[in-house]
């Protein structure tokens, strides 16, 4: 192996040059849009909508602007109606394709092509869009750039484009740009070294990654350390369990201490949760991370490491090298730029609002994503291509994630709409015995939000149960007041006040804790629960590690992670 320290910055070549040119085109287009004031208008529309200065507008063929309350009534109607359960079939089929096609000999190699993955995802996404275009007969909520209601009699294009815009511009773009930025920048940082692949050294890597994840994001921590972990274990035969525990700890559980750690918590911050409130989750974070790392150490020490042959152990020891880090300049500063962009450039928040400064300035829409891409541009132009080549860096893993999640984000619009409607309905639904069914216990919120975060993207799932928790508390308070139950009303008011004082929003703290932990921790239950899970799997497979199938991975999570979470709920919730 050549000494990376002696390598100089090379001129971009090949795919890197194409990447830089593509980024340059994106910048030019965005600057042109800024000159015409388009992103600013998008931001202003969102700001006016959030502040209540502009009534909700129907995007329809029928003008209801002269009918008092028409928009509000349409909004209430759209929240009450939802697609039938069978509309979740494209989403389920896509999950089954991800799980099964790699296992079938006839489709195994066909599925390895990212183009083929995208074709499957796109076809299923078109089926979902086709349902909304031609068969959905209820109002639709358009969430981007601000809330509007598309009426039931709108044309087919309005309905299909509403669902597409909600999925693509409202969610997918921010999701994939952040993953792409962290993936690309960390690809220019090389942690050189081949530690002895002992249970202790692997456990230390898991611990470091778990601690880093909350501060550089689960994606950033995973991309920085996964190559070191793979390099360290390259001479071991039994290493699949090590990668699985890495996904548990670094890609998910480790990111619960700050909003920048994991997307669900960031969405909570955007909805008013204090930025530093998530540090209150340190006990649960320490318990789950600590138990998982301890379990890994015991499992590797007494089950897997003894199975390694003496030759493999000797080779691993002889080839061991001290750890050295290259490429921190400029990539460490680019990573910091990405984190600051995520923290400070949300178009729904005043610039510098995080620091309590009232600027009255709202960042233009998508400026956050453009700054992240600018950091990628600087990483490729100022960083060393030689380091990326030594890292075997390519875009295969992020393209796989982009292709599959494009379909996932569109196909899951129907199940998310069902979940949103039914989640609110649970609060006030009357069962056949006449008793009120409520999700009023933290454990129920944890397991319900967590189970859905395992198969849906955990960020929008968090939002649904975040709002459901607020509705449950407010509905219970109103019921207590209506029934003259002063004691219950006083208790709920005290809980809401405690939530306002500590977390910044009127919500029972135990419910907020439960939703936050469920969405973050149980995103580790499947490969698709959180974006970094799939990226680590793809990188490991590129390095020759035969990772478990979709259901094989779930076997690990059910047998190892699930019992730990059960104990955690018994102790803390």
pLDDT in tens, the chain (573 residues): 444 443 444 444 456 889 999 999 999 999 999 999 999 998 888 766 554 444 343 444 333 334 334 444 444 444 447 899 899 999 989 988 988 888 888 998 999 899 999 999 999 999 999 999 999 999 998 988 888 889 989 999 999 999 999 999 988 998 889 889 988 998 899 887 778 889 999 999 999 999 999 988 898 899 889 988 998 898 899 999 999 999 999 999 999 998 888 878 877 876 778 888 999 999 999 999 999 999 999 999 999 999 998 887 888 777 777 888 999 999 999 999 998 998 888 887 788 777 777 878 889 999 999 999 999 999 999 999 899 988 888 898 889 889 998 998 899 899 888 877 765 454 444 333 333 434 457 888 899 889 988 887 677 778 778 877 777 777 777 778 888 888 888 888 888 888 888 888 888 888 899 999 999 999 999 998 887 898 899 889 988 899 998 899 999 999 999 999 999 999 998
Quote the DSSP letter at residue 148: E
Owning domain of residue 142:
55-186+394-418
75: tokens are 């909004």
Instruction: Read off φ and ψ for residue 112, nearest 5 degrees.
Output: -70, -20
Residue 164 lies in a domain: yes
Cα 207 to Cα 88, 232, 291, 297, 447: the distances in Å are 38, 15, 11, 11, 26
Residue 336 lies in a domain: no
Residue 82 lies in a domain: yes
pLDDT of residue 439: 46
pLDDT of residue 78: 41
| Alpha helices per DSSP H over 355-436 | 367-382, 385-390, 396-411, 413-428
Residues 445, 428: Cα–Cα separation, whole Å: 16
Residue 527 lies in a domain: no
Residues 314, 236: Cα–Cα separation, whole Å: 11
Residue 326 lies in a domain: no
Q: How many Cβ atoms sit within 10 Å of the Cβ of residue 412? A: 27
Q: How many domains does the chain have?
A: 1
Residues 329, 343: Cα–Cα separation, whole Å: 22
Residue pointed to by tokens 């149960």: 465
Residue 441 lies in a domain: no
Q: Partners of 142 in the beta sheet?
A: 148
pLDDT of residue 270: 67
Q: Pairing between strand 148-150 and 57-58?
A: parallel
Cα 565 to its chain centre, rounded Å, is: 20
Residue 147 lies in a domain: yes
Residues 296, 204: Cα–Cα separation, whole Å: 11
What is the side-by-side strand order in the sheet with 140-142? 57-58, 148-150, 140-142
CB-based contact 573:308 (threshold 8 Å): no
């Amino acid at each position: 192996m050549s000494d990376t320290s002696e390598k100089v910055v090379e001129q971009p070549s090949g795919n890197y040059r194409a990447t830089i040119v593509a980024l340059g085109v994106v910048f030019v287009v965005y600057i042109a849009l800024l000159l015409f004031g388009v992103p600013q208008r998008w931001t202003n529309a969102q700001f006016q909508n959030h502040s209540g200065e502009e009534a909700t507008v129907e995007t329809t063929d029928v003008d209801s602007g002269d009918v008092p309350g028409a928009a509000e009534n349409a909004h209430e109607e759209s929240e009450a109606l939802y697609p039938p359960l069978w509309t979740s079939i494209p989403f389920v089929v896509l999950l089954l394709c991800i799980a099964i096609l790699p296992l079938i000999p006839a489709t195994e190699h066909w599925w390895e092509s990212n183009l083929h993955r995208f074709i499957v995802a796109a076809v299923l996404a078109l089926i979902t869009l086709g349902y909304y275009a031609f068969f959905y007969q209820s109002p639709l909520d358009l969430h981007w750039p601000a809330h509007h209601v598309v009426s039931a009699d709108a044309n087919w294009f309005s309905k299909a484009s509403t669902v597409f815009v909600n999925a693509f511009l409202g969610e997918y773009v921010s999701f994939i740009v952040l993953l792409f930025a962290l993936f690309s920048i960390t690809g220019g940082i090389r942690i050189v070294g081949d530690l002895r692949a002992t249970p202790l050294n692997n456990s230390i890597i898991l611990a470091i990654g778990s601690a880093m994840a909350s501060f550089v994001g689960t994606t950033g921590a995973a991309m920085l350390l996964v190559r070191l972990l793979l390099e360290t274990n390259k001479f071991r035969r039994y290493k699949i369990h090590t990668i699985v525990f890495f996904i548990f700890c670094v890609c998910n559980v480790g990111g619960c201490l700050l909003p920048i750690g994991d997307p669900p918590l960031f969405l909570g911050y955007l909805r008013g949760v204090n930025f530093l409130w998530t540090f209150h989750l340190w006990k649960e974070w320490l318990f789950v991370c600590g138990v998982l790392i301890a379990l890994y150490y015991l499992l590797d020490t007494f089950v897997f490491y003894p199975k390694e042959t003496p030759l493999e152990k000797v080779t691993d020891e002889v080839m061991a090298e001290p750890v050295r880090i290259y490429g921190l300049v400029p990539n460490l500063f680019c990573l910091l730029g990405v984190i600051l962009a995520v923290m400070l450039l949300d178009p729904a928040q005043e610039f510098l609002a995080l620091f309590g400064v009232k600027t009255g300035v709202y960042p233009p829409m998508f400026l956050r994503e453009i700054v992240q891409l600018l950091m990628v541009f600087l990483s490729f132009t100022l960083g060393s291509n030689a380091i990326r080549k030594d890292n075997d860096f390519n875009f295969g893993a992020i393209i796989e994630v982009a292709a599959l999640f494009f379909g996932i984000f569109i196909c899951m619009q129907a199940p998310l709409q069902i979940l949103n409607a039914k989640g609110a309905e649970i609060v006030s639904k009357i069962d056949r015995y006449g008793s009120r069914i409520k999700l009023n216990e933290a454990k129920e919120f944890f397991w319900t939000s967590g189970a859905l975060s395992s198969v849906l993207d955990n960020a929008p799932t968090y939002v649904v149960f975040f709002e459901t928790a607020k509705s449950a508390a407010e509905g219970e308070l109103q019921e207590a007041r209506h029934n003259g139950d002063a004691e219950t009303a006083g208790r709920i008011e005290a809980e809401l006040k405690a939530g306002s004082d500590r977390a910044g929003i009127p919500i029972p703290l135990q419910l907020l804790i439960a939703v936050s932990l469920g969405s973050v921790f149980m995103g580790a239950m499947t490969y698709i629960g959180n974006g970094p899970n799939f990226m680590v799997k793809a990188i490991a497979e590129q390095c020759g590690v035969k990772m478990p199938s979709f259901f094989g991975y779930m076997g690990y999570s059910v047998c190892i992670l699930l019992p730990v979470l059960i104990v955690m709920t018994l102790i803390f919730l």
